[in-house]
Amino acid sequence: MVLAQLGGSISRALQQMSNATIIDEKVLNDCLNEITRALLQADVQFKLVRDMQTNIKKIVNLDDLAAGHNKRKIIQQAIFNELCKILDPGKLAFTLKKGKPSVVMFVGLQGSGKTTRCTKYAYYHQKKGWKPALVCADTFRAGAFDQLKQNATKAKIPFYGRKSSSKCVEVVVIPKSDPVRIAVEGVERFKKENCDLIIVDTSGRHKQEAALFEEMRQVSEATKPDLVIFVMDSSIGQAAFDQAQAFKQSVAVGAVIVTKMDGHAKGGGALSAVAATKSPVIFIGTGEHMDEFEVFDVKPFVSRLLG
Ligand code: GDP
Protein backbone atom coordinates (compact mmCIF):
# COMPACT_ATOMS: atom_id res chain seq x y z
CA MET A 1 0.00 0.00 0.00
CA VAL A 2 1.51 3.31 -0.98
CA LEU A 3 1.53 6.25 1.40
CA ALA A 4 -1.26 8.04 -0.40
CA GLN A 5 -3.52 4.99 -0.05
CA LEU A 6 -2.66 4.64 3.60
CA GLY A 7 -3.46 8.30 4.14
CA GLY A 8 -6.71 7.76 2.27
CA SER A 9 -7.80 4.93 4.57
CA ILE A 10 -6.99 6.90 7.69
CA SER A 11 -8.69 10.05 6.42
CA ARG A 12 -11.72 7.97 5.54
CA ALA A 13 -11.83 6.48 9.02
CA LEU A 14 -11.61 9.94 10.58
CA GLN A 15 -14.22 11.28 8.19
CA GLN A 16 -16.62 8.46 9.08
CA MET A 17 -16.14 9.32 12.73
CA SER A 18 -16.82 12.99 12.10
CA ASN A 19 -20.01 12.08 10.23
CA ALA A 20 -21.34 10.26 13.29
CA THR A 21 -23.87 12.28 15.30
CA ILE A 22 -22.48 11.13 18.64
CA ILE A 23 -18.93 9.97 19.15
CA ASP A 24 -19.26 7.11 21.58
CA GLU A 25 -17.07 4.11 22.43
CA LYS A 26 -18.31 2.17 19.40
CA VAL A 27 -17.59 4.98 16.93
CA LEU A 28 -14.12 5.43 18.44
CA ASN A 29 -13.42 1.68 18.29
CA ASP A 30 -14.58 1.45 14.67
CA CYS A 31 -12.34 4.35 13.76
CA LEU A 32 -9.32 2.89 15.56
CA ASN A 33 -9.92 -0.53 14.00
CA GLU A 34 -10.00 1.03 10.55
CA ILE A 35 -6.76 2.89 11.25
CA THR A 36 -5.18 -0.28 12.65
CA ARG A 37 -6.05 -2.13 9.45
CA ALA A 38 -4.54 0.64 7.32
CA LEU A 39 -1.31 0.67 9.35
CA LEU A 40 -0.97 -3.11 9.30
CA GLN A 41 -1.47 -3.14 5.56
CA ALA A 42 1.29 -0.56 5.31
CA ASP A 43 3.58 -3.00 7.16
CA VAL A 44 3.73 -1.23 10.48
CA GLN A 45 4.62 -3.89 12.99
CA PHE A 46 1.64 -5.41 14.81
CA LYS A 47 3.00 -4.65 18.28
CA LEU A 48 3.50 -0.96 17.42
CA VAL A 49 -0.05 -0.67 16.12
CA ARG A 50 -1.51 -2.45 19.15
CA ASP A 51 0.44 -0.24 21.57
CA MET A 52 -0.67 2.84 19.66
CA GLN A 53 -4.30 1.80 19.91
CA THR A 54 -3.99 1.19 23.67
CA ASN A 55 -2.33 4.58 24.19
CA ILE A 56 -4.97 6.45 22.22
CA LYS A 57 -7.72 4.82 24.25
CA LYS A 58 -5.96 5.91 27.43
CA ILE A 59 -5.58 9.49 26.18
CA VAL A 60 -9.05 9.83 24.71
CA ASN A 61 -11.39 9.18 27.58
CA LEU A 62 -14.76 9.94 26.05
CA ASP A 63 -16.57 10.04 29.41
CA ASP A 64 -14.25 12.75 30.70
CA LEU A 65 -14.62 14.98 27.70
CA ALA A 66 -17.13 17.75 28.20
CA ALA A 67 -19.93 18.02 25.69
CA GLY A 68 -18.42 21.10 24.04
CA HIS A 69 -15.15 19.36 23.21
CA ASN A 70 -14.40 18.59 19.61
CA LYS A 71 -13.85 14.88 20.13
CA ARG A 72 -12.92 14.22 16.53
CA LYS A 73 -10.12 16.79 16.73
CA ILE A 74 -8.87 15.36 20.02
CA ILE A 75 -8.82 11.83 18.59
CA GLN A 76 -7.14 13.01 15.39
CA GLN A 77 -4.49 14.85 17.41
CA ALA A 78 -3.92 11.77 19.60
CA ILE A 79 -3.37 9.60 16.50
CA PHE A 80 -1.00 12.18 15.05
CA ASN A 81 0.98 12.41 18.28
CA GLU A 82 1.21 8.64 18.68
CA LEU A 83 2.56 8.18 15.14
CA CYS A 84 5.07 11.00 15.74
CA LYS A 85 6.09 9.31 18.99
CA ILE A 86 6.81 6.03 17.22
CA LEU A 87 9.00 7.86 14.71
CA ASP A 88 10.84 9.85 17.35
CA PRO A 89 13.37 7.74 19.28
CA GLY A 90 13.97 10.69 21.58
CA LYS A 91 17.46 11.40 20.34
CA LEU A 92 19.06 12.96 17.32
CA ALA A 93 21.59 11.21 15.11
CA PHE A 94 25.20 12.00 15.94
CA THR A 95 25.98 15.47 14.60
CA LEU A 96 28.95 15.48 12.28
CA LYS A 97 31.16 18.56 12.24
CA LYS A 98 32.26 20.19 9.02
CA GLY A 99 36.04 20.48 8.77
CA LYS A 100 36.67 17.65 11.22
CA PRO A 101 37.18 14.19 9.67
CA SER A 102 34.19 11.95 10.30
CA VAL A 103 33.66 8.39 9.20
CA VAL A 104 30.16 7.25 8.29
CA MET A 105 29.56 3.58 7.65
CA PHE A 106 26.59 2.39 5.61
CA VAL A 107 25.10 -1.03 6.36
CA GLY A 108 22.09 -2.87 5.00
CA LEU A 109 20.99 -5.87 3.00
CA GLN A 110 22.02 -6.23 -0.63
CA GLY A 111 19.62 -4.36 -2.86
CA SER A 112 18.45 -2.04 -0.10
CA GLY A 113 19.88 0.93 -1.98
CA LYS A 114 23.04 1.34 0.09
CA THR A 115 25.48 2.09 -2.71
CA THR A 116 23.07 4.49 -4.40
CA ARG A 117 22.46 6.25 -1.07
CA CYS A 118 26.19 6.57 -0.21
CA THR A 119 26.75 8.80 -3.21
CA LYS A 120 23.56 10.78 -2.62
CA TYR A 121 24.56 11.32 0.99
CA ALA A 122 28.02 12.46 -0.15
CA TYR A 123 26.55 14.70 -2.85
CA TYR A 124 24.06 16.23 -0.42
CA HIS A 125 26.90 17.20 1.93
CA GLN A 126 29.19 18.30 -0.88
CA LYS A 127 26.57 20.85 -1.92
CA LYS A 128 26.62 22.14 1.65
CA GLY A 129 30.35 22.74 1.55
CA TRP A 130 31.66 19.47 2.94
CA LYS A 131 34.56 17.58 1.42
CA PRO A 132 33.21 14.03 1.15
CA ALA A 133 34.92 10.88 -0.08
CA LEU A 134 33.64 7.38 -0.78
CA VAL A 135 35.23 4.06 0.14
CA CYS A 136 33.89 0.88 -1.41
CA ALA A 137 34.36 -1.92 1.10
CA ASP A 138 31.68 -4.02 -0.58
CA THR A 139 33.82 -6.79 -1.96
CA PHE A 140 30.99 -9.30 -2.15
CA ARG A 141 28.68 -7.94 -4.81
CA ALA A 142 30.19 -8.00 -8.28
CA GLY A 143 29.68 -4.56 -9.73
CA ALA A 144 29.43 -2.72 -6.42
CA PHE A 145 32.73 -0.98 -7.02
CA ASP A 146 31.89 -0.06 -10.62
CA GLN A 147 28.56 1.35 -9.50
CA LEU A 148 30.14 3.44 -6.76
CA LYS A 149 32.87 4.58 -9.13
CA GLN A 150 30.36 5.59 -11.78
CA ASN A 151 28.20 7.55 -9.35
CA ALA A 152 31.18 9.14 -7.60
CA THR A 153 32.76 10.18 -10.88
CA LYS A 154 29.50 11.78 -11.99
CA ALA A 155 29.27 13.74 -8.74
CA LYS A 156 33.01 14.51 -8.76
CA ILE A 157 33.57 12.88 -5.39
CA PRO A 158 36.85 11.07 -4.72
CA PHE A 159 36.57 7.36 -4.13
CA TYR A 160 38.67 4.41 -3.16
CA GLY A 161 38.30 0.78 -4.12
CA ARG A 162 40.09 -2.25 -5.35
CA LYS A 163 39.52 -2.53 -9.06
CA SER A 164 42.45 -1.82 -11.33
CA SER A 165 40.77 -1.44 -14.69
CA SER A 166 39.61 2.13 -14.27
CA LYS A 167 41.56 5.03 -15.69
CA CYS A 168 40.37 7.24 -12.88
CA VAL A 169 43.22 8.52 -10.74
CA GLU A 170 41.23 8.02 -7.57
CA VAL A 171 41.27 4.24 -7.92
CA VAL A 172 43.89 2.34 -6.02
CA VAL A 173 44.89 -1.20 -6.86
CA ILE A 174 44.60 -3.58 -3.97
CA PRO A 175 45.39 -7.21 -4.76
CA LYS A 176 43.19 -8.90 -2.18
CA SER A 177 39.49 -8.47 -1.72
CA ASP A 178 39.81 -7.81 1.97
CA PRO A 179 36.99 -5.45 2.96
CA VAL A 180 38.51 -4.51 6.30
CA ARG A 181 41.83 -3.62 4.72
CA ILE A 182 40.20 -1.65 1.92
CA ALA A 183 38.04 0.23 4.43
CA VAL A 184 41.00 1.11 6.66
CA GLU A 185 43.24 2.17 3.77
CA GLY A 186 40.49 4.27 2.24
CA VAL A 187 39.71 5.99 5.51
CA GLU A 188 43.39 6.68 6.23
CA ARG A 189 43.99 8.03 2.77
CA PHE A 190 41.07 10.42 2.87
CA LYS A 191 41.89 11.57 6.37
CA LYS A 192 45.33 12.55 5.07
CA GLU A 193 43.64 14.39 2.23
CA ASN A 194 41.60 16.37 4.75
CA CYS A 195 38.23 15.02 3.68
CA ASP A 196 35.74 15.72 6.43
CA LEU A 197 33.13 13.13 5.49
CA ILE A 198 34.48 9.67 4.71
CA ILE A 199 31.70 7.32 3.72
CA VAL A 200 32.30 3.58 3.84
CA ASP A 201 29.99 1.36 1.80
CA THR A 202 29.93 -2.20 3.10
CA SER A 203 28.81 -5.55 1.73
CA GLY A 204 25.18 -6.46 2.03
CA ARG A 205 24.63 -10.08 1.24
CA HIS A 206 21.25 -11.23 0.14
CA LYS A 207 20.18 -12.45 3.55
CA GLN A 208 21.16 -12.12 7.15
CA GLU A 209 24.13 -14.46 7.24
CA ALA A 210 26.48 -14.62 10.17
CA ALA A 211 29.40 -13.81 7.85
CA LEU A 212 27.89 -10.49 6.81
CA PHE A 213 27.44 -9.39 10.40
CA GLU A 214 30.93 -10.53 11.35
CA GLU A 215 32.42 -8.62 8.41
CA MET A 216 30.46 -5.49 9.34
CA ARG A 217 31.60 -5.79 12.93
CA GLN A 218 35.23 -6.04 11.82
CA VAL A 219 34.96 -3.08 9.43
CA SER A 220 33.36 -1.06 12.19
CA GLU A 221 36.01 -2.04 14.71
CA ALA A 222 38.80 -1.14 12.30
CA THR A 223 37.43 2.17 10.99
CA LYS A 224 35.74 3.36 14.18
CA PRO A 225 32.86 5.15 12.44
CA ASP A 226 31.36 8.24 14.05
CA LEU A 227 28.00 7.19 12.67
CA VAL A 228 26.60 3.91 11.33
CA ILE A 229 23.63 4.32 9.02
CA PHE A 230 21.25 1.42 8.45
CA VAL A 231 19.76 1.56 4.95
CA MET A 232 16.43 -0.15 4.61
CA ASP A 233 14.29 -0.83 1.57
CA SER A 234 10.80 0.34 2.50
CA SER A 235 9.20 -2.50 0.57
CA ILE A 236 10.50 -5.29 2.79
CA GLY A 237 7.24 -5.30 4.71
CA GLN A 238 6.77 -6.85 8.11
CA ALA A 239 10.37 -8.17 8.02
CA ALA A 240 11.58 -4.60 8.67
CA PHE A 241 11.62 -4.83 12.43
CA ASP A 242 13.61 -8.08 12.68
CA GLN A 243 16.08 -6.98 10.04
CA ALA A 244 16.74 -3.63 11.61
CA GLN A 245 17.14 -5.27 14.99
CA ALA A 246 19.63 -7.83 13.63
CA PHE A 247 21.81 -5.04 12.24
CA LYS A 248 21.57 -3.05 15.45
CA GLN A 249 22.76 -6.06 17.42
CA SER A 250 25.93 -6.33 15.30
CA VAL A 251 26.99 -2.72 14.87
CA ALA A 252 26.12 0.52 16.66
CA VAL A 253 23.45 1.74 14.24
CA GLY A 254 22.82 5.42 14.98
CA ALA A 255 20.58 6.48 12.11
CA VAL A 256 18.28 5.04 9.47
CA ILE A 257 17.70 5.83 5.82
CA VAL A 258 14.56 4.39 4.29
CA THR A 259 14.78 3.93 0.53
CA LYS A 260 12.39 3.35 -2.33
CA MET A 261 9.60 5.47 -0.91
CA ASP A 262 8.55 6.18 -4.47
CA GLY A 263 6.33 3.91 -6.55
CA HIS A 264 5.26 0.89 -4.55
CA ALA A 265 6.95 1.99 -1.36
CA LYS A 266 5.27 1.40 2.00
CA GLY A 267 5.55 3.79 4.90
CA GLY A 268 5.35 1.29 7.72
CA GLY A 269 8.94 0.15 7.54
CA ALA A 270 10.13 3.53 8.78
CA LEU A 271 8.19 3.11 12.03
CA SER A 272 9.52 -0.42 12.55
CA ALA A 273 13.11 0.60 11.81
CA VAL A 274 13.01 3.38 14.39
CA ALA A 275 11.48 1.10 17.00
CA ALA A 276 14.03 -1.65 16.35
CA THR A 277 17.15 0.49 16.21
CA LYS A 278 16.05 3.25 18.59
CA SER A 279 17.60 5.59 16.05
CA PRO A 280 16.04 8.36 14.00
CA VAL A 281 15.29 8.22 10.30
CA ILE A 282 17.47 10.96 8.80
CA PHE A 283 16.69 10.75 5.08
CA ILE A 284 14.27 9.03 2.78
CA GLY A 285 15.10 7.88 -0.72
CA THR A 286 12.45 8.66 -3.27
CA GLY A 287 14.12 7.46 -6.45
CA GLU A 288 17.36 6.50 -8.11
CA HIS A 289 18.47 9.97 -9.19
CA MET A 290 20.95 12.06 -7.27
CA ASP A 291 18.41 14.63 -6.05
CA GLU A 292 15.72 12.10 -5.10
CA PHE A 293 16.83 12.18 -1.50
CA GLU A 294 14.90 14.07 1.16
CA VAL A 295 15.73 15.07 4.70
CA PHE A 296 13.33 13.18 6.93
CA ASP A 297 11.06 15.27 9.07
CA VAL A 298 8.68 13.50 11.44
CA LYS A 299 5.69 15.86 11.40
CA PRO A 300 5.33 16.37 7.64
CA PHE A 301 5.83 12.63 7.18
CA VAL A 302 3.02 11.82 9.59
CA SER A 303 0.79 14.53 8.11
CA ARG A 304 1.32 12.93 4.72
CA LEU A 305 0.60 9.53 6.24
CA LEU A 306 -2.69 10.80 7.61
CA GLY A 307 -3.62 12.38 4.28
P1 GDP B 1 22.81 -2.03 -2.49
O2 GDP B 1 22.93 -3.45 -2.93
O3 GDP B 1 22.19 -1.93 -1.14
O4 GDP B 1 24.06 -1.25 -2.58
O5 GDP B 1 21.70 -1.35 -3.45
P6 GDP B 1 21.85 -0.42 -4.71
O7 GDP B 1 22.23 0.95 -4.31
O8 GDP B 1 22.70 -1.09 -5.73
O9 GDP B 1 20.33 -0.36 -5.20
C10 GDP B 1 19.64 -1.53 -5.64
C11 GDP B 1 18.69 -1.15 -6.76
O12 GDP B 1 17.66 -0.30 -6.26
C13 GDP B 1 19.36 -0.39 -7.89
O14 GDP B 1 18.80 -0.83 -9.10
C15 GDP B 1 18.99 1.06 -7.60
O16 GDP B 1 18.99 1.82 -8.78
C17 GDP B 1 17.61 0.92 -7.00
N18 GDP B 1 17.28 1.98 -6.06
C19 GDP B 1 18.04 2.47 -5.05
N20 GDP B 1 17.40 3.42 -4.36
C21 GDP B 1 16.17 3.56 -4.92
C22 GDP B 1 15.01 4.40 -4.63
O23 GDP B 1 14.95 5.23 -3.70
N24 GDP B 1 13.93 4.22 -5.44
C25 GDP B 1 13.93 3.31 -6.46
N26 GDP B 1 12.82 3.19 -7.19
N27 GDP B 1 14.97 2.51 -6.74
C28 GDP B 1 16.09 2.64 -6.00
Give, for all 307 residues of the chain, the pLDDT tens digit: 444 445 566 777 777 777 777 777 888 888 888 888 888 877 788 888 899 889 888 887 767 666 656 777 787 888 889 889 989 888 888 888 898 999 999 999 999 999 999 999 999 999 999 999 999 998 888 788 899 999 999 999 999 998 644 444 445 544 446 899 999 999 999 999 999 999 999 998 776 688 899 999 999 999 999 999 999 998 887 788 889 999 999 999 999 999 988 865 556 778 889 999 999 999 999 888 888 889 998 888 887 666 6
Nearest ligand 1 atom to alpha carbon 109: 3
C-alpha 289 to ligand 1 mean position (Å): 10
Nearest ligand 1 atom to alpha carbon 108: 3
C-alpha 270 to ligand 1 mean position (Å): 17
Q: Give the burial class of 64: count Cβ atoms within 10 A of its Cβ; 0-12 exposed, 13-18 middle, 19 or more buried.
A: exposed
What is d(CA 221, CA 216) in angstroms, rounded to the nearest whole number? 8
Which residues are within 8 A (CB) of 49 and not within 5 positions of it... i.e. 6 or more apart?
Answer: 36, 39, 40
Q: Which among 288, 293, 296 is the best mutation to test ligand 1's pocket, defined by most ligand atoms within 8 Å of the CB? A: 288
Phi first, then psi: what are they for 249, rounded to 5°? -70, -20
C-alpha 293 to ligand 1 mean position (Å): 12
C-alpha 22 to ligand 1 mean position (Å): 49
Q: Residue 283 CA to chain centroid, in angstroms? A: 6
Residues with CB under 6 A from ligand 1: 108, 110-116, 141, 147, 204, 259-260, 262-263, 285-288
The pTM assigned to this predicted structure is 0.87
Residues pairing with 22 in the sheet: none
What is d(CA 276, CA 288) in angstroms, rounded to the nearest whole number? 26
Nearest ligand 1 atom to alpha carbon 285: 23
